[in-house]
Structure formats: C-alpha cells, structure tokens
Amino acid sequence: MKLPASAKIVEMGPRDGLQNESAVVSTEDKIRYIDLLSETGLQWIEATSFVSPKAIPQLADAVEVFTKIRKTAGVRYPVLVPNMKGYDRAKAAGADAIAVFTAASEAFTKRNINMTIDESLDTFRDLVAAAKRDRMWVRGYVSTAFGSPFGDKVTPAMVVDVSVKLMEMGCDELSIGDTIGVGVPSQVDELVPALAAKIELHRIAMHFHDTRGTALANLYAALSNGVHIFDSSAGGLGGCPYAPGATGNVGTEDVLYLLHSMGVQTGVNLDKVRAASRFIRGVVHHELTSKTFAALEASDARNRSVAS
C-alpha cells in the first residue's frame, strides 16, 4: 500500500491536554510549554481556548497565554472558540486561526457547549463568516464521531452530515474526533471513504483519543485511507472534561515514531517534543501516557547509568 510521503501534525497538548488537568498549571508554565513546542518543527500548535472560564477554568488565562507566547515564523497557533464572544476575545488577542467545535452526538453537544447541533451550526455560520472576512484560517471539529459517552447512537451518516455543513460554511479543515477513544479501524475504514465522497481528503484531520489503546491502529487505518493530517498531544496529555472517562490524545511521540519509521515525514523533531513533554510532566506531577516517550526516557536512563 502506498503511504503519503509526508503528514501534518496538529499539536494538542496546550489545549486538549491542559484543559483536562486537575493540577493548576501557571500561565508562565503554559507559555514555556508552548514555546518549547514551537522549537520542535511543529507547524500547528493549538494554543488555548477562548471558551467560558466557568466551563473550562483551566484555560481562563487564554488572553495572557496567547499574547505572551513567542510566535515562531512558520508556526500557526489556532485557538478554540465556541461563540461570538469567544471570537471577539480571540481576535482582540491577535489570533489568526480559530477552531469551532460541535459533534455528531446531540447529548454530548448539549453538555459540552449547551447547544443542540443545529444551534451550534447556526452560531458557527455567523462566526465563520466573520472569521473569513477577517482572513482567518478556520477548523471545524466533529466530536464523538465513533461513539458518544452518553449512549446515544452515532452513525457515519450523522458524522458526514455535520461535516458537510461545517465545510459549506467555509471551514478550511475538518477534524474528526474520537473524543472518548472507542473507535476501531473497521469504523475508520467505513467513515473515511464516506467523508471523502463529499469532502476533499486533504482537508480532513483525524483526532484520536487513546482511551482504549486503539488510537495508533485507527491512525494507521486513516493513513491507509489517504488521510495525512493527525492531531496528537505531546506525552499523550488530554481529554474533554465534558466526556466522562475520556483520556488523552494519542501521544505525539508515538505518532512521530510510527510515521517516521514507515518513511512518512513530518518535519517534527521527536527529541525536541520529548523535551517539551519532560517539562510538562514536571509541571503536572504525573506520568505521561505516551509509550514512545516512556521507552525513550527509559533507554536514555539506561545509557546514562552504563556511561557513569
């Protein structure tokens, strides 16, 4: 099977990762973390969310974080916005790339953003139009594409329907989320061609959480179906506080190891991502879930002890 020569990685650690941390992470540490990620070769780093601070207190310092990170040439820093209030705050802070987010599950959408799916699409229609007038880049998320945490049924047709509506309103890119990490490759094999029948493949990203250890298998299935944009988080941080049981995104280190070993280039330096993960591990005070991160840390420790 012919794999793509290169893939685009969208780093989620500062947003999806830190939104789910119970530890208080200082604004200064968030900025340092993003600045370290900016040195890795990553070209897309989702920096924070301009959502209600009551909904996500962890990212209440979005303005300060966004304005104080070192913006590296060639790196884009998209931010999440749920409504016009978030859009105005993001624009005032200088954002030039945003992401709107809805879902295929009605129950999840209600809990996450207190809107029905239709209400969210109505909200985003005006918001995306404003963003396009302001020449911003816009991503649209479709969460719970492989299953809902609340037991309501999600079908590929429902995912395609929401995706097409997001693209019709002017989104530049879609990200299809396995929010609670329940998906398996056979679902990816069914969903990606259904999406590709309506939306150009090069505009479709996959966003896998690794709750049940299926994220890399799903990523490989997506890659085999022609997808080449993947969301991941350094060390595997992450989860959605409104999706009970959701754990982190697939680790960026795991994705880089898999892709680079198969000859798919990303332009991202794995060791530099590890340095960012090492920094944030020291801040959140718990182990990280990325297996490649753990394996390389252990191997370095062995080498150091042999050398000493």
Residues in the chain: 308
State the minimum distance, in angstroms, from the CB of residue 208 to ligand HMG.
9
From ligand HMG, Mg ion, none, which one binds at residue 248 (CB under 5 to 8 Å depending on kind)?
A: none
CB of 21 closer than 8 Å to CB of 13:
no
Choose the one of Mg ion, ligand HMG, none that binds residue 139, judging by a C-beta under 5 to 8 angstroms depending on kind. none
User: Which pair of structure tokens corresponds to residue 266?
Assistant: 């990303």
Is residue 254 part of the contact set for Mg ion (CB under 5 A)? no
Tell me the C-alpha to C-alpha distance, in Å, between residue 137 and each of 29, 35, 132, 148, 195. 27, 21, 7, 28, 21
**Nearest to ligand HMG of 76, 272 (CB atom):** 76
Nearest CB to ligand HMG, comparing residues 74 and 94: 94
Confirm or reject binding of residue 46 to Mg ion (CB under 5 A): no
Q: Let me know how many helices (H) and strands (E) the chain has, helices first.
A: 11, 9
Question: Residues 6 or more apart from 63 whose CB is under 8 A from it?
Answer: 50, 89, 92, 93
- If one counts every other C-beta atom within 10 angstroms of the C-beta of residue 246, the result is 24
φ, ψ for residue 208, nearest 5 deg:
-100, 125
Q: How far is the CB of 91 from Mg ion (least distance, A)?
A: 23
As measured in angstroms, the least distance from the Cβ of 16 to Mg ion is 4
Nearer to ligand HMG, 40 or 144 (CB): 144
- CB contact set of 226 (below 8 Å; sequence gap of 6+): 4, 192, 196, 201
Exactly one of 18, 136, 240, 280 is catalytic; name it. 240
Q: Which residues are near ligand HMG by CB under 6 A?
A: 16, 19, 49-56, 80, 82-83, 85-86, 89, 101, 112-114, 141, 143, 177, 179, 207, 209, 240, 242
Which does residue 98 bind out of ligand HMG, Mg ion, none, counting CB within 5 to 8 angstroms by kind?
none
- Chain Cα centroid distance, residue 229: 11
Considering only CA atoms, which of 186, 51, 159, 167 is closest in space to residue 105?
Answer: 159
Q: Is 240 a catalytic residue?
A: yes
Residue 34 binding: pick among Mg ion, ligand HMG, none (C-beta 5-8 Å cut-off by kind): none
| C-beta closer to Mg ion: residue 33 or 297 | 33
Name the binder of 113 from ligand HMG, Mg ion, none, CB < 5-8 A by kind.
Answer: ligand HMG
Q: CB nearer to ligand HMG: give 3 or 93.
A: 93
Identified binder of Mg ion from the candidate list 7, 8, 13, 16, rule CB under 5 A: 16
| 286 CB-near residues (< 8 Å, 6+ apart) | 23
Q: CB count, 10 Å around CB of 308? A: 5
Rounded least distance, CB 64 to ligand HMG, Å? 14
Window of 14-22, 93-101, 265-273, 275-283 that interacts with Mg ion by CB under 5 A: 14-22
Task: Give yes or no for residue 253 binding Mg ion (CB under 5 A).
Answer: no
Please report which helix (H) or strand (E) contains residue 8, including its range.
strand 8-11
Using CB under 5 A as the criterion, which residues of the chain lie in contact with Mg ion when the complex forms? 16
List active site positions. 240
